[in-house]
Amino acid sequence: MNEITIQSPFDMHIHLRDTEMLKLVAPLTSHTFAGGVIMPNLVPPVETKEAVVAYKNRILEAINNDDFIPFMTLFFKPYTNEFLENVKDEIIAIKLYPAGITTNSEGGISVIDTVALAPTLNAMSNLNIPLCVHGETNGFVMDREKEFMSVYEALAVAFPKLKIIMEHITTKEAVDLVKKYDNLFATITLQHLIITLDDVVGGMLKPHLFCKPIAKRPEDRDALLEIALSGNSKIMFGSDSAPHPKHKKEACGCAAGVFTSPIALQVLVELFEKNDKLENLDNFISKNAIDIYGLKKSKKSIKLIKKDFVVPAQYEGFGEVVVPMYAGETISWSLKE
């Protein structure tokens, strides 16, 4: 196959940041995706209806006239039923962060207790507002996601009508768990389908592959790849594309995040083609998200051709510089302009 058309591609977990960085990176997503679930961990976090609407307007301004829907989220905290009823039409989900576990999550939840959180989670369940979760503990870094599985189970059992999205899963244990409960779903990033921890720190440190959750073992990567390639209806693409200024990545105290937005579709086509599973690509980047979240299929389509593309060494503008995954390397698919 030398050409492929992707109808209505969605990125169900993405960071667009704000201010000048937003202006640089938002068009790099809106150019190739029909919509994306926007993370709310700004400074300060997005916690009010007014903040949701204002952030959405800044995104729409940044992408100019691109055909792209920003699906907005709230930063989880205890909310009243009245508040949620009022904000429901402006959001697609609410994102729960364990306190301090990742970028700008200091205002997250310190103890995820099903009883203490029940008023908010029951209201979300009744209003059909999904819960997105960054599923990590504060334990040893390689075990953080595995240790969080009991929390996911407790939430799934206590709130059986609540749609729970296990965000950017990275382990075989998470793959096994998502199959176990009807109300559990998951997103998987591009980088976790491809790399292991060895790619990040096995030789010279590669800061632009460092992210949280950290890449895991080969058996974890293989389990993620298998379920994504299968077209399983509970699995969606969520890039977790997380741009940081170049000087904050190539530094002591390297910021966590891999920037994949400009090349995500091309590399996914390459990956599914390599594994003879192109027939399941639509499930992973469109159909499953539509079914899980109740979205409308977009009329937007993206054409790609089998032609080598050299990934830019960096993207810059508005005083910001960001380095993408595969910077300076050649991938086998290109966007057809």
Assign 56 to helix, strand or coil: helix
Of the candidates 240, 276, 282, 308, the residue annotated as catalytic is 240
Assign 337 to helix, strand or coil: coil
What are the DSSP calls for 237-270, one per residue? E---B----HHHHSSTTPPP----GGGHHHHHHH
Q: Which residues pair with 131 in a beta bridge?
A: 94, 164
Q: Is 89 considered catalytic here?
A: no
Contact indicator for 35, 298 with CB cutoff of 8 Å: yes
Q: Which residues pair with 37 in a beta bridge?
A: 71
Q: Where are the beta strands (DSSP E) in 44-166?
A: 69-71, 73-75, 93-96, 131-133, 164-166
**Structure token pair of residue 244:** 């940081």
Q: Annotated active-site positions, please?
A: 240
